[in-house]
C-alpha cells in the first residue's frame, strides 16, 4: 500500500466540478489498487483573490510544496479581468510554477478515433496524430527582467525581456530527448534562430544535449513554419520542444487539431519532484456550475499524475483505457456531442468512467 498526499486546487469556473470528478476516479483507483490518497484542498486564482486577497495565498503554496502531487482545475474569469496584472487569477498559476520550479510542461496531443469527426481538420490529416509538446515553463518572456514601463524621449514605452540561461535550456532539452526515447524517437526543437539571439543559444544547447542521445532524431524548425506544419502535417510530429511563449501559442493551436480540447491533460514537472497536473482547457465561466463541463481532461490529468508523479503506470493506463471505453461507448458531454447525439452531464460522464475502470 502506497500513501500519497495530493494537493487539490480547484480554482475558478468549471475548475471545482472537474477536479471533483478527478478525485472520484482517483478514490476508486486507490480502492482497486490498495493505495491511500489523502486530498488537501487549497485556494488559487480568482476564488483565492476573493477570499484571501491574493491569487496564490501562502497556505496554498505551503500545502502544494509539501504534497506529492498537485491537481489543479482552472483559473480566471471575467469577474477578475479588471484587476491589475500583478493581482490577477493567472498570476497564481505563474507563481506556483515559478516557486516550485515547474520548468517542464508536458502536453500530449492524441486523436481519439471516436472523436475525429468533431475536428475542424480533415480526417486524413488528423487520424494518426500522436505527439507530445514539451514547453519550457519558468523562463523566457514570462519571467525575464526588466518587465516594466518607462518614459523614453517623452513617451511611454513598455519592455519585456526574453532571457534563457544555458542550464535552463539544457534541462528542458534533456526532458525532451528522454521523452522521445519512450516514444517514436524524434524531437523537433522549435525556435526563431533567424531573428532571436536566445533562439540561437537554444539551438546550440539543444545540439549539445543531443550528443547524449544519438539514438534520437533531431530537427530544428522555425516557429512560423511549425505553426504551419502543425496544420499541414500534424501526424509527422513526435516530440516538440520549445520555449515558454512559443509553447503557449503552439500548444493551444495543437489543442484544436483533434476536436478534443475537453480531453487534453497536461503535467508540469520540476526539479523538486512535485508535479502539477491540470486540464489544458480554461475555466469556461459561461457553463460553470451547470454540470455540463467535460471532466475527461481533469481525469486524464490525474492519470498523468499517477504515471509521471507516482510511478503508477498500471493504474494510469487503467484510467486511460476507461476514458477510451466511455468514448467508444458513445458517452459525450456537450462540448464533444454532435448535433444528433444526446449530451451527458459531468456527473454521468464521471460515473461512466468509474464503472469502466
From first CA to last CA, the distance across the chain in angstroms is: 19
228 binds ligand IPM (CB under 6 A): no
Check if 112 is active-site: no
For residues 315 and 292, what is the distance between their CA atoms, to the nearest angstrom? 27
**Is 284 part of any known ligand binding site?**
yes
Given ligand IPM, a second copy, none, residue 147, with its beta carbon under 5 to 8 Å by kind, binds a second copy
Contact 135, 105 (CB under 8 A): yes
- Among candidate residues 24, 61, 192, 307, the one labeled active-site is 192
Clarify whether 192 is annotated catalytic: yes
Q: How far is residue 320's CA from residue 339's CA, in Å, rounded to a whole number?
A: 26
| 46 versus 295: smaller Cβ distance to ligand IPM | 46
Binding range to ligand IPM, per CB under 6 A, among 14-22, 53-61, 90-98, 162-170? 90-98
The active-site residue, picked from 103, 112, 142, 277, is 142
Say how far apart CA 37 and CA 40 lie, in whole Å: 10
CB 5 within 8 A of CB 68: yes
Total residues interacting with ligand IPM, rule: CB under 6 A: 7
The correct pick among 93, 240, 284, 327 for binding ligand IPM (CB under 6 A) is 93
Q: Among 2, 157, 271, 338, which residue interacts with a second copy (rule: CB under 8 A)?
A: 157
Q: Cβ closer to ligand IPM: 90 or 130?
A: 90
Beta-carbon contacts of residue 131 (< 8 Å; ≥ 6 apart): 108, 109, 110, 234, 237, 238, 239, 240, 254
Contacting residue, 113, 148, 159, 195, with ligand IPM by CB under 6 A = 195
Grid coordinates belonging to 330: 458513445
Q: Are 275 and 305 in contact (CB under 8 A)?
A: yes
Give the nearest residue (CB) to ligand IPM.
90
Name the minimum Å distance from CB 75 to ligand IPM.
7
Residue 253 touching ligand IPM (CB under 6 A): no
Which of these, 303, 294, 300, 288, lies nearest to 335 by C-alpha position? 294
Q: Which residues have C-beta within 8 Å of that of residue 245, sequence separation ≥ 6?
A: 140, 141, 142, 162
Please say which residue, 90 or 217, places its beta carbon nearer to ligand IPM: 90
Is 224 labeled as catalytic in the residue annotation?
yes
- Of 1 and 156, the one with the shorter C-beta distance to a second copy is 156
Residues 263/239, Cβ–Cβ less than 8 Å: no
Q: Is 154 left (phi over 0), alpha (psi -120 to 50) or beta?
A: left
Phi then psi dihedrals of residue 250, to 5 deg: -65, -35
- Tell me the three state secondary structure of residue 16: helix
- Strands 69-74, 3-11: pairing is parallel
* 1 versus 158: smaller Cβ distance to a second copy: 158
Look up 142 and say whether it is catalytic.
yes
Active site residue 248: yes
User: What's 287-311 look like in SS3?
Assistant: HCCCCCCCCHHHHHHHHHHHHHHCC
Q: Is 182 in the site for a second copy (CB under 8 A)?
A: no
Other C-beta atoms within 10 Å of 244: how many? Answer: 23
Cα–Cα distance measured from residue 150 to residue 144, given in angstroms and rounded to the nearest whole number: 16
> Residue from 124, 194, 214, 342 that binds ligand IPM (CB under 6 A)?
194
Q: Report, in Å, the least distance between residue 91 CB and a second copy.
A: 8
152 is an annotated ligand-binding site residue: no
Secondary structure (3-state) at 283: coil
Using the rule CB under 8 A, is 192 a contact of a second copy?
A: yes
285 is in an annotated binding site: yes
Catalytic residue among 101, 130, 160, 252: 252
**Contacting residues toward ligand IPM, per CB under 6 A:** 90, 93-94, 194-195, 224, 248
Q: Please report, in range form, the residues annotated as the binding site for substrate.
A: 97, 107, 135, 224
Q: Please report, in range form, the residues annotated as the binding site for Mg(2+).
A: 224, 248, 252
Active-site residues, by number, are 142, 192, 224, 248, 252
**Contacting residues toward a second copy, per CB under 8 A:** 76, 85, 88, 90, 94, 119-122, 125, 141-142, 144, 147-149, 152-153, 155-167, 192-198, 200-202, 223-225, 227-228, 230-232, 245-246, 248-253, 255-257, 261
Amino acid at each position: 500500500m502506497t500513501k500519497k498526499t495530493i494537493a487539490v486546487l480547484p480554482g475558478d469556473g468549471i475548475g471545482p466540478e472537474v477536479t471533483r470528478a478527478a478525485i472520484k476516479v482517483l478514490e476508486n483507483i486507490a480502492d482497486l489498487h490498495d493505495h491511500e490518497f489523502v486530498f488537501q484542498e487549497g485556494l488559487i486564482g480568482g476564488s483565492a483573490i476573493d477570499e484571501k486577497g491574493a491569487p496564490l495565498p501562502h497556505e496554498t503554496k505551503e500545502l502544494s510544496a509539501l504534497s506529492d502531487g498537485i491537481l489543479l482545475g482552472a483559473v480566471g474569469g471575467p469577474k477578475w479581468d479588471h484587476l491589475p496584472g500583478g493581482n490577477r487569477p493567472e498570476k497564481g498559476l505563474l507563481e506556483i510554477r515559478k516557486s516550485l520550479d515547474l520548468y517542464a510542461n508536458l502536453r500530449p496531443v492524441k486523436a481519439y478515433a471516436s472523436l475525429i469527426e468533431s475536428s475542424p481538420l480533415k480526417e486524413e490529416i488528423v487520424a494518426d496524430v500522436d505527439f507530445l509538446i514539451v514547453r519550457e515553463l519558468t523562463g523566457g518572456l514570462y519571467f525575464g527582467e526588466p518587465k516594466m514601463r518607462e518614459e523614453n524621449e517623452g513617451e511611454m514605452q513598455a519592455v519585456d525581456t526574453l532571457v534563457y540561461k544555458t542550464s535552463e535550456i539544457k534541462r528542458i532539452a534533456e526532458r525532451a530527448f528522454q521523452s522521445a526515447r519512450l516514444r517514436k524517437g524524434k524531437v523537433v526543437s522549435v525556435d526563431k534562430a533567424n531573428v532571436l539571439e536566445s533562439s540561437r543559444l537554444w539551438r546550440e544547447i539543444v545540439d549539445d544535449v543531443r550528443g547524449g542521445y544519438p539514438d534520437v532524431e533531431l530537427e530544428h524548425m522555425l516557429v512560423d513554419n511549425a505553426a504551419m506544419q502543425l496544420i499541414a502535417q500534424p501526424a509527422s510530429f513526435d516530440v516538440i520542444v520549445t520555449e515558454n511563449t512559443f509553447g503557449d501559442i503552439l500548444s493551444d493551436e495543437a489543442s484544436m487539431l483533434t476536436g478534443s480540447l475537453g480531453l487534453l491533460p497536461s503535467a508540469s514537472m520540476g526539479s523538486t519532484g512535485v508535479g502539477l497536473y491540470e486540464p489544458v482547457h480554461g475555466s469556461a465561466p459561461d457553463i460553470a456550475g451547470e454540470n455540463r463541463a467535460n471532466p475527461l481532461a481533469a481525469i486524464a490529468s490525474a492519470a498523468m499524475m499517477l504515471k509521471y508523479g507516482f510511478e503508477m503506470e498500471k493504474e494510469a493506463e487503467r484510467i486511460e483505457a476507461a476514458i477510451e471505453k466511455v468514448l467508444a461507448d458513445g458517452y459525450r458531454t456537450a462540448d464533444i456531442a454532435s448535433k444528433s447525439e444526446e449530451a451527458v452531464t459531468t456527473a454521468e460522464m464521471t460515473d461512466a468512467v468509474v464503472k469502466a475502470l
